[in-house]
A and B are shown apart, each in its own frame.
Chain A
Amino acid sequence: MRQVRRVGWTLAIATGMVLGASQAMADIASDKSAAIVVYPKVAVDREEGVDTVIRLANSNETTPILAHCFYVNANSHCSGGSNDRSVCDSGADCPGGGFCVPGWLETDFRIKLTQGQPIQWLASEGLADSDLPLPRGVCTGNPFVGCGSAADCAFFNAGSCSASNAGTRIPPVPEDPFKGELKCIAIDNNGVPIPRNDLKGEGILTTSTVDNLDVASYNALGIQATGAVTGAANELVIGGPDPEYNGCPNYLIMNHFFEDVANPVPGTDTTIETTLVLVPCSTDYLRQIPGAATIQYLVFNEFEQRFSTSGPFICYEETRLCNLDTSDCSRSIFNANVMGTVAGQTRLWAVRNPALPGVPSAVLGIGIERHVGGEYTRSAAFNLHQQGARADADLITIP
Chain B
Amino acid sequence: MRRQRGLAGVIALATLFGLGSNLNQAEARITTEESASILVFPKVIANGTRDTIIQITNTSNNMRHAHCFYVNAAPSIPGLPISDANPPLWTEIDFDITLTKQQPTKWVVSTGRRFPAFEDTCTGFATNPSRQCDPSTTGGGVANCCDAGFDPGRIPPSAPDFTGELKCIEVDPSGFPVGGNALKGEATLVDIATEDVSKYNAIGLKGFDTNNMDGTLCLGGGVTGSCPTGAEYEACPRLWVLEHPSDGAINPVADSFGFNSSASATLTIVPCTQNFETQAPERVTLQFLAVNEFEQVLSASASFRCWASWALNGSAADGSNPYGGISTAFEKATIGTDLVKTTVRAVGNQGVMMVLEETNVDITNGLTARSAQNVHTSFVDVTGQDIITIPGEQIQIPEP
Chain B residues positioned under 8 Å from A18 (CB to CB): 18
Give the distance to chain A from B9, nearest Cβ to Cβ, in Å: 9
- Smallest CB-CB separation from A217: which chain B residue? B371
**B253 x A122 contact (CB < 8 A):** yes
Contact count band on A: 35 or more
**A29 x B196 contact (CB < 8 A):** no
Which of A12, A197, A306, A381 has the most C-beta atoms of chain B within 10 angstroms of its own C-beta? Answer: A12
Q: What 0/1 readout, one digit per residue, does chain A (337-377) give for beta carbons within 8 Å of chain B?
A: 11111111101000000000000000000000101001110
Q: Does B167 count as interface, using CB distance less than 8 angstroms?
A: no
* Bound Cα distance A25, B362 (Å): 44
Q: What 0/1 readout, one digit per residue, does chain A (69-89) give for beta carbons within 8 Å of chain B?
A: 000000000000000000000
Q: Does B301 count as interface, using CB distance less than 8 angstroms?
A: no
- Smallest CB-CB separation from A262: which chain B residue? B133
**B379 x A33 contact (CB < 8 A):** yes
**A208 x B293 contact (CB < 8 A):** no
Number of interface residues of B (CB under 8 A): 112
**A253 x B243 contact (CB < 8 A):** no
**B31 x A268 contact (CB < 8 A):** no
Chain B residues positioned under 8 Å from A347 (CB to CB): 102
**A265 x B17 contact (CB < 8 A):** no
**B15 x A302 contact (CB < 8 A):** no
* Bound Cα distance A384, B3 (Å): 51
**A216 x B371 contact (CB < 8 A):** yes
Give the A-B pair count, Cβ closer than 8 A: 352
- Smallest CB-CB separation from B107: which chain A residue? A264
Give the distance to chain B from A147, nearest Cβ to Cβ, in Å: 16
**B53 x A264 contact (CB < 8 A):** yes
**B197 x A31 contact (CB < 8 A):** no
Of residues 96 through 120 on chain B, the ones whose CB sits less than 8 Å from some CB of chain A are 100-106, 108, 110-111
Q: Does B377 count as interface, using CB distance less than 8 angstroms?
A: yes
B residues sitting closer than 8 Å to A (CB atoms) are: 3, 6-7, 10-11, 13-22, 24-25, 30-35, 51, 53, 55, 57, 59, 100-106, 108, 110-111, 121-126, 132-136, 138, 145-150, 184-186, 188, 190, 192, 194-201, 208-209, 241, 243, 251-254, 256-257, 259, 261, 291-295, 297, 337-341, 343, 358, 360-362, 365, 367-379
Q: 16 extra interchain contacts, Cβ-Cβ under 8 A, other than A31-B376, A208-B259?
A: A15-B11, A19-B22, A20-B18, A23-B21, A118-B293, A212-B367, A213-B361, A215-B371, A255-B55, A262-B133, A302-B148, A336-B125, A342-B145, A343-B106, A343-B149, A369-B188
A residues sitting closer than 8 Å to B (CB atoms) are: 1, 5, 8-9, 11-13, 15-25, 27-33, 49, 51, 53, 55, 57, 59, 61, 114-120, 122, 124-125, 133-134, 163, 197, 200, 202, 204, 206-219, 253, 255, 257-258, 261-270, 300-304, 306, 330, 335-345, 347, 369, 371, 374-376, 378-387
The 7 closest A-B pairs by CB, nearest first: A19-B18, A302-B149, A16-B14, A340-B121, A20-B21, A133-B293, A380-B199
